[in-house]
Chains A and B, each alone.
Chain A
Amino acid sequence: MSDHGHHHKESFITKYIFSQDHKMISRQFLITGIFMATIGTIMASLFRIQLGNPGEPSAILNFFLGDGWAPNGIMDPNMYLALVTLHGTIMVFWLLTAGLSGTFANLLIPLQLGARDMASGFLNMLSYWFFFGATCVLVSSFFITGGPASGGWTVYPPLSALPEAMPGSGLGMDLWLAAMTLFVVSSLLGGLNYIVTIFNLRTKGMTMFRMPLTIWALFLTAILGVLSFPVLFACVLLLIFDRTFGTAFYLSDIFIAGEALPAQGGSPILFEHLFWFLGHPEVYIIILPALGIGSEIISVNSRKPIFGYKAMVFSIIAIGLLSFIVWGHHMFVTGMNPFIGAVFTFTTLLIAIPSAVKVFNYLATLFRGNIQFTPAMCFAIGMVSTFITGGVTGIILADNALDINLHDTYFVVAHFHIVMGLSAVLAMFGGVYHWYPKLYGRMMNKTWGYIHFWFTFICAYGTFFPQHFLGLAGVPRRYYSNTEFPFQEDFVDLNFVVSVFAIGGTLSQGIFLVNFFYSIFKGEKAVQNPWRANTLEWTTPVEHIHGNWEGPLPTVYRWPYDYSKPGKDEDFVLQTVPLADGELDQGEDYH
């Protein structure tokens, strides 16, 4: 490893553990995210075993959960709820917030903007270690009596506030809240750092409208996070107060376990408002980076400029702004003022417009392209497909009149898993395959990448697509067992099939894990610009160096999407190539 100029030699600890280098921190976030995702996915398989074969003994359940939670191989209902809760928490926050933004914002912001590192390497390091702390606290809650938090990932009080209500609302909930508090700190430190870096450390010539869409997406994501996570922090803090210090922010008129509680005057609905004020921007914190990554991969591999760059930028901004005024659509059946409900329906359906613009722009980018189906591109195409499939059902759910009957059914489960979960996961996989050469200086095996993609893609649709029909029949989510109602008997087969696909999908991730970790050490050595892309990260040396560029920072002359530009020899033009005489730059010279 060669050292750049004034950066001195580092010890093992400062290089690999308490590193302040954005590339190392990016890898730390990625590996931690993969670790947590593995846990979260296995959890999903476990509760799918229960849902596919309710009440039937399973040695697998007994193996993972032990005699306490799965006596004779039959899952305890409280453990079922704990599994769905932790699955949701881990996937939403640990994988798709910290794992996704943490990895790609850290890796790409300095590299694509031409910066030596993040604005504050120290805060960046702190961000990771707060996240690591949060991870430890959350994981520790698996091993305590009473089990981890089990009130659903939205942890609505009073269920989550009262240990009498369920075993998971005891110590497990305390740990959940502590983990979430640390998580918010991590997220804020990261987010502030990203914003400051994007504003201040762009290299010469890198105007805002020459930034790749990944950076635009990560920029808006960071802004959303910085504005909304503090509200979650307040929300969580008040819940801690209610649980620990006897306050009554969320509690009122409760009689539980043979006792009337003294708390009066609070409102659980207040919690819902605070929670969803983060919760809804949160889904855009998840999906925007995914869309940004998708834009980049699709443009590079279509060998074509992204269609409507500025429309893409403005639709990201529009989605970001709108995401703050739609949270009430999660609460249509809480008895809120019908007028407010109407407003939220209106604002929510407005989001369909920028989302549609993005989809059409993706399609137009593919149109008359010269599409290179790298594994990353396959995943990006998959992402667009799930964004469409899941997005359209959003139009139905946004309608408050329709939501009355679909709220909290499997229709919702199908919708958000496809549009948010799958899109983001597929894009994240795409990102990992695409930027692996930047992360580790080696290539992941392509063939196994394809195999991984197809298994994942097929199983993903097989799992979630049929769930729409469960929802249309009125099957609620978060039911431990669909056996207590006669109408649910019609869906025994379907539940079984869904479980088969879900478990198949989980197992196929083994392919990815092996490919990922094997390639770190044994993968084919990468060339500097394997995908022949325009952006600045591909002008850095393959081996990581502190400070990213050997000599002076690169200068940028053009937007990042000059692919297949007429009059050029190659089908790509690096951003560092000066404009020819009379040549116009799409980023700055067109309005």
Chain B
Amino acid sequence: MNAVLIVAIAILAYIVVSQIFRVYELIRELDGPNDRNTIVTDTENKVMANGFVMFMVLLFAMFVYCMEVYWPLRLPDAASVHGAKIDDLMNFNFLFVTLIFLICIVMLFGFCLKFYGTKDRKASYIPFHHKLELAWTILPCIPLTFIIIWGLITWNEITSTPPEDGIVIELYAKQFDWSARYTGDDGELGPLNYLLIKDLNYMGIDPKDERGQDDIVVKGVFHIPVGKSINLQMRSQDVIHSAYLPHFRVQMNCVPGMTTRFHFTPTKTTAQMREELGNPDFNFLLYCNKICGATHFNMQMDVIVDTEEDYKAWLANQKTVTEKGMIAVIEDLEENTSVVTSGLALK
């Protein structure tokens, strides 16, 4: 079906272009000989001007087609509190710039048609017009001010201090997978030290630190509860990654050597979302959005938004890092540390 469509479009485009040139060649012969490559004939001007208008029609047709077919395929309405605000702002902006786009493009190609050159006419000598110039310098400032203020209000809400009672989850990125780390019962994440990374302890959790011993680390899929603030911390083991959770309108880079943060509150559970979209296979996604190497295109993790009870039940079923044996072998570890830290100031 698609192949047919594309071939049809290609043939149509070819016909349009070739017809334009046939007409133009034919008529040029009628104009008689002249300085062929220097002088543009009236006919050529007319053909080109009409070409631009035809192009404009095609462009708008493409725009309409894309809006029909691909606009509905955009990300579904945000599933987070701040995301809904981003959507509002986005929809307004989209409408606004579409309007500007349409007006300017119509003027541009319209003027091409209206004022294409002919031999019997002279252009108007209008070097400047102060009032007009002033008007279109100042007029754009008004919507712009509005957009800036609205945008900054939204931005300030998004980047405000996360609520104390939020759930702290650490997203840990490495080539080419994600892990999510939960605090365990103590409500605190254990400190990480990259010098302690060895074997199963791939995050470098300090085994001597009690805060870390009950931490929970999961891969492949992680769960969050609906309606609570999720205070994400991002870290990276090797290169810059970016934690992108598009359905929640969340994105933050994971940078080795530092911790970045982003907090959001999910508003819909996975089950609700599946029902809403009529897609039983729908999953919220986390994927990498900063070039990180060969398998960058497939560095993903599923996110399940549960009700609070389900979330608690799920979390209770998870083994801590100690139970999993991730931070078990203390002797080995000390040996490892001493080797790596020789000559280095261990923080």
Interface residues of A (CB under 8 A from B): 77-78, 81, 151-152, 156-159, 162, 165-166, 251-256, 260, 262, 264-269, 302-305, 307-311, 333-335, 338, 341-342, 345-346, 349, 352-353, 356-357, 359-364, 366-374, 378, 381, 384-385, 388-389, 392-393, 395-396, 399-402, 404-405, 407-409, 443-447, 450-451, 454-455, 457-458, 461-462, 465-466, 468-469, 472-474, 476, 478-482, 484-487, 490-491, 493-494, 496-497, 500, 523-524, 526-527, 530-531, 561, 563-566, 571, 586, 590
Contacts and interface: CB of A to CB of B under 8 A. Distances in A.
A81 B151 contact: no
A166 B345 CA distance: 29
Contact of A565 (B85, B125, B261): B125
B44 interface: yes
A349 B108 contact: no
B256 A490 contact: no
Nearest to B104: A388
A373 B250 contact: no
B86 to A, nearest CB: 6
A400 B155 contact: yes
A266 B256 CA distance: 10
Interface in B326-347: 340, 343-345, 347
B117 A303 contact: yes
A366 B291 contact: no
B123 A268 contact: no
A274 B97 CA distance: 31
19 contacts: A81-B293, A162-B238, A165-B293, A252-B258, A254-B237, A255-B204, A260-B197, A304-B125, A308-B133, A335-B261, A361-B133, A374-B40, A381-B108, A399-B155, A401-B85, A401-B155, A462-B62, A490-B73, A497-B6
A342 B246 CA distance: 22
A374 B41 CA distance: 10
Nearest to A333: B251
A399 B104 contact: no
B154 A371 contact: no
B105 A478 contact: no
B318 interface: no
A563 B101 CA distance: 29
A402 B257 contact: no
B137 A334 contact: no
Contacts of B57: none
A474 B86 CA distance: 14
A363 B83 CA distance: 38
B175 interface: yes
B311 interface: no
Contact of B105 (A308, A388, A409, A561): A388
A156 B104 CA distance: 37
A311 B133 contact: yes
Interface stretch (B162-170, B265-273, B281-289): B281-289
B257 A484 contact: no
Contacts of A159: 239-240, 291-293
A566 B155 contact: no
Contacts of A447: 21, 25
Contacts of B240: 156, 158-159, 268
Contacts of A166: 293-294
A461 B60 CA distance: 11
Given A341-B159, A363-B107, A366-B108, A303 B300 contact: no
A285 B241 CA distance: 29
A327 B55 CA distance: 35
B319 interface: no
B250 A360 contact: no
A122 B129 CA distance: 44
Nearest to B75: A474
Given A401-B85, A484-B298, 10 more contacts: A268-B257, A307-B129, A359-B104, A364-B129, A366-B112, A372-B45, A396-B90, A402-B89, A474-B244, A480-B294
Shortest 4 CB-CB contacts between residues of A and residues of B:
A252-B257, A335-B260, A338-B159, A373-B48
B151 A402 contact: yes
B227 interface: no
Contacts of B133: 308, 311, 357, 361
B86 A405 contact: yes
A392 B261 CA distance: 30
A395 B66 contact: no
Interface in B55-97: 55, 58-59, 62-63, 66, 70-71, 73-75, 83, 85-86, 89-90, 93-94, 96-97
B297 A481 contact: yes
A454 B16 CA distance: 11
Q: Is the interface on chain B under 10, 10 to 19, 20 to 34, or 35 or more residues?
A: 35 or more
Contacts of B83: 405
A468 to B, nearest CB: 8
Contact of A255 (B6, B116, B151, B237): B237
Nearest to A479: B297
B104 A253 contact: no
Contacts of A362: 108
B322 interface: no
A571 B122 contact: yes
Residue among A269, A369, A490, A561 with most chain B CB within 10 A: A369
B323 to A, nearest CB: 24
Given A392-B97, A396-B93, A454-B51, A349 B148 contact: yes
A378 B44 CA distance: 11
B49 interface: yes
Given A335-B258, A363-B107, A408-B289, A309 B127 contact: yes
A77 B295 CA distance: 7
Nearest to A409: B289
Interface in B201-234: 204, 234
Contact of A338 (B35, B93, B155): B155
Contacts of B123: 302-304, 368-370, 563-564, 571
Nearest to A167: B294
Contacts of B274: none
B255 interface: yes
A454 B93 CA distance: 31
A564 B122 contact: yes
Residue among B73, B98, B125, B295 with most chain A CB within 10 A: B125
B128 A500 contact: no
Given A338-B155, A476-B289, A349 B147 contact: yes
Interface string B1-32: 01000100010010001001100110000000
A256 B347 CA distance: 19
B317 interface: no
Contacts of B100: 388, 392
Interface in B108-140: 108-109, 111-112, 115-118, 121-129, 132-133, 136-137, 140
A469 B66 contact: yes
Residue among A454, A465, A565 with most chain B CB within 10 A: A454
Contact of B75 (A157, A473, A561): A473
Contacts of A480: 294, 296-297
Given A346-B148, A349-B147, A404-B86, A485 B244 contact: no
A491 B73 contact: yes
Contacts of A443: 37-38
A527 B45 contact: no
A590 B251 CA distance: 52
Nearest to A311: B133
Contacts of A311: 128, 133, 137
A476 B116 CA distance: 42
Contacts of A479: 296-297
B21 A451 contact: yes
B117 A305 contact: no
Contacts of B118: 370
B253 interface: yes
Nearest to B256: A254
B63 to A, nearest CB: 7
Contacts of A487: 285
A539 to B, nearest CB: 17
A166 B111 CA distance: 52
B283 to A, nearest CB: 8
